[in-house]
A and B are shown apart, each in its own frame.
Chain A
Amino acid sequence: MASYRIDGDEVRASLTGAAGDAGRGRSIVLNRSEGACLLCHSLPPSELGAEPFMGNLAPSLAGVGSRMTAGQLRLRMIDSTRINSATIMPAYYRIEGLNQVALAYRGKPVLSAEQIEDVVAYLRQLK
């Protein structure tokens, strides 16, 4: 697990030290077995590709790149409970303080540091 520093509501530095790949980020967001972001969030129709369904539990990701900095997006993906302890959003880069995690996932974050950076790069493009 990469270490990171929280400044206000941001993690300003890349978890990998490098910029992510927005193309790979888009496929993580759309893929049901990776990020599964659309289980709860929606995207502008132009971004949807082959995925026909979107959830409505969480805010739309349309324009999220204009509303938030890369640092804000990064912290919200790493561990959204740092911002709102009651949030329904899973922590995508956290392995501590979880209950009864299935063996296959124990000790592993939902997404890798590289994947987090790829998604941050993609979301920043949603202006």
Chain B
Amino acid sequence: MERRVPGSEQMNWLRAALLAALISSCAVISSAEDRAIPLNQLRSGSEFLSPELRALQADAFANPGMLWVERGAKLWSTPAGSAGQSCASCHQDAAKTMRGVAASYPRVDAKSGFLLNVEARINQCRSERQAVAPFRYESDDLLSLTAYVNSFSKDYKINVVIDGNAETYFEAGRTLYYRRSGQMNLSCAQCHEENWGKNLYAERISQGHPNAYPAYRMEWQSMGSLERRLRACLSGVRAEMLPYGAQEYRNLALFLAWRAQGLPMESPGIRR
């Protein structure tokens, strides 16, 4: 039995209008975003790990990536350059100032218009503020400081900006993601979108999210950046590897972050 209450006609009209507005706005969002893996079906790479490796990642005392985080903590307050500036001189206590920051990277630097990942942002500070040489890509120093900064975004959800001055980078990243490359003629999407969950030999293909990096990878027996991981896929499809710091990697990283929008950050993650 329907209960009639005074003013219900007006309420129904309002509801219908709200519903119509909601439906039309949803349609706009979904067509603009065009997500191959819906947000509610995102699965972090850690879900494709063995229980042992998942436990290793979760245990801050056993996680080998924490060695780099600890080293990064020391570097944060170590002065560099003739002005004797450390990261802490400007940014004070990273536990307060860096909280959640890495979850919004890669992001466009408003002043230069360049798309920066955390590594590039650190090196920008070194050149512009400390007047010292940038850290070498994949050096323990750069991995350590990046891992330290990222550690304050652990469990923060990835949330990157892809419009405005980020749009060109984002679209270039998307194009690269769907383009076949290498002698094996494969795109990122063919494995990580169309076939995730299936096996290559005995190894399950993940959805290819960037939320663990810098990560300690068992295959490397070391910490490595997202770029290093991307190069491993390029090598697998027998494609030419671009130099570290190449714009293409950053564009791709922005697209990957958007694909993983809402997934919690795990760095320092453990990966196979």
Write out, one digit per residue, whether chain A residues 45-88 have a CB within 8 A of any chain B CB (1) or not (0).
00000001111110000000000000000000000010000001
With A54-B201, A56-B198, A102-B182: A88-B190 Cβ-Cβ less than 8 Å: yes
Q: Does B93 contact A (CB under 8 A)?
A: no
Q: What is the total number of residues of chain A having a CB less than 8 Å from a CB of chain B?
A: 23
Distance (whole angstroms) from the CB of A12 to the closest CB of chain B: 24
User: In the assembled complex, which residues on chain A have CB atoms less than 8 Å from the CB atom of B191?
Assistant: 88
Contact partner of A101 (CB less than 8 A), chosen from B182, B200, B205, is B182
B194 within 8 A of A: yes
Interface residue ranges of B172-201 to A (CB < 8 Å): 179-186, 190-191, 194-195, 198-201
Interface of A is mostly: loop
B183 close to A98 (CB less than 8 A) = yes
Among B185, B190, B205, residue most surrounded by chain A Cβ atoms (within 10 Å): B185
A54: B residues at CB distance < 8 A:
199, 201
Contact: B202 with A53, CB < 8 Å? yes
Which single member of B190, B198, B239 contacts A100 (CB below 8 Å)? B239
Residues of B within 8 A of A99 (CB): 179-182, 239
Q: Which residues of A contact B202 (CB under 8 A)?
A: 52-53
A90 touches B198 (CB 8 A): no
Contact with A along B135-167 (1 / 0, CB 8 A): 000000000000000000000000000000000
Contact of A90 among B183, B194, B205, B234 (CB under 8 A): B183
Neighbour of A56 across the interface among B186, B199, B240, CB < 8 A = B199
Residues in chain B near residue A105, CB distance under 8 A: 182-183, 238
Decide yes or no whether A126 CB sits under 8 A from chain B: no
Interface contact B183-A102, CB-CB below 8 Å: yes
* 13 more CB-based (< 8 A) A-B contacts, given A88-B186, A101-B183: A53-B201, A53-B202, A54-B201, A57-B200, A88-B194, A90-B186, A98-B182, A100-B182, A105-B182, A105-B183, A105-B238, A108-B183, A110-B183
